[in-house]
Amino acid sequence: MTRSALTTPPPDAVLPRPLPGGPAPGATLGSHYSGCFGCGEDHPTGLRLTAVTPDGVTVVATFTVGTAHQGAPGLAHGGVLATAMDEVIGMLVWLFQRPYVTARLETDYLAPVPVGTVLHMRAWCNGMSGRKAYLEAEGRIGSPDGPVAVRAAALFIEVGMEHFAEHGDAQAIIDEHHEYEVNP
């Protein structure tokens, strides 16, 4: 991965550990929002990604590239692949049970991804420092051991739930996330 300094963890960064009470190894991770383009089950044209965590600190997911995802004829659009990487990384930080948003996303495209491909994605955390989480993901063609077609490195920043309430749709948060205090 060609990472910039901005997505490389500093020396004081610590690796995350599985959280007590977090998902058991092998658990499927639910969508963070039903209307999300990446994971929402109610989105009419979204990617509808679901992920599994094998160990509480990494996630794996598959994405089947369809005709709706083309850039060149018969090939996946790079922006769609970046979206899939952003989403699988977002699913990973959701494991840590604090809200984060993407501040920076870097993507390397190593091979074209034909329509019909099942992209096997994996995401992991390289370190956390204060509000910053340094994350990485890869997408492999056809199987978990297949050739790497896309790699991503990201900096996610922890925010409060008020970030979503102030800038987005507070009622939707209340409707779907009753456990959060949106206006404490």
Ligand X SMILES: CCCCCCCC/C=C\CCCCCCCC(=O)SCCNC(=O)CCNC(=O)[C@H](O)C(C)(C)COP(=O)(O)OP(=O)(O)OC[C@H]1O[C@@H](n2cnc3c(N)ncnc32)[C@H](O)[C@@H]1OP(=O)(O)O
Q: Which residues bind ligand X (CB under 6 A)?
A: 6, 32-33, 38, 86-87, 90, 94, 99-104, 131-132, 155, 157, 159, 164, 172-173, 176-177
Shortest distance in whole angstroms from residue 142 CB to ligand X: 25
Shortest distance in whole angstroms from residue 145 CB to ligand X: 26
**For residue 119, which of 140, 100, 148, 147 has the smallest C-alpha distance?**
140
Q: How many other CB atoms are there within 10 angstroms of residue 81's CB atom?
A: 23
- Indicate the residue among 58 and 102 with the shorter CB distance to ligand X: 102
- Indicate the residue among 67 and 183 with the shorter CB distance to ligand X: 183
- Indicate the residue among 70 and 102 with the shorter CB distance to ligand X: 102
- Indicate the residue among 63 and 164 with the shorter CB distance to ligand X: 164
Shortest distance in whole angstroms from residue 125 CB to ligand X: 14
Residues 6+ apart with CB under 8 A from 149: 81, 109, 110, 111, 112, 113, 117, 119, 139, 140, 141
Shortest distance in whole angstroms from residue 119 CB to ligand X: 17
Q: What is the signed CA dihedral for 59, 65, 71, 74, rounded to 10 degrees?
A: 150
- Indicate the residue among 145 and 179 with the shorter CB distance to ligand X: 179
Q: What is the signed CA dihedral for 112, 115, 118, 123, rounded to 10 degrees?
A: 50
- Indicate the residue among 149 and 152 with the shorter CB distance to ligand X: 152
Q: Which three-class secondary structure state does DSSP give residue 175?
A: helix
Shortest distance in whole angstroms from residue 76 CB to ligand X: 18
Length of the chain, in residues: 184
Shortest distance in whole angstroms from residue 143 CB to ligand X: 25
DSSP code, position 183: -
- H helices of 1-120, in order, are 78-94
Q: Which residue is nearest to ligand X (CB)?
A: 90
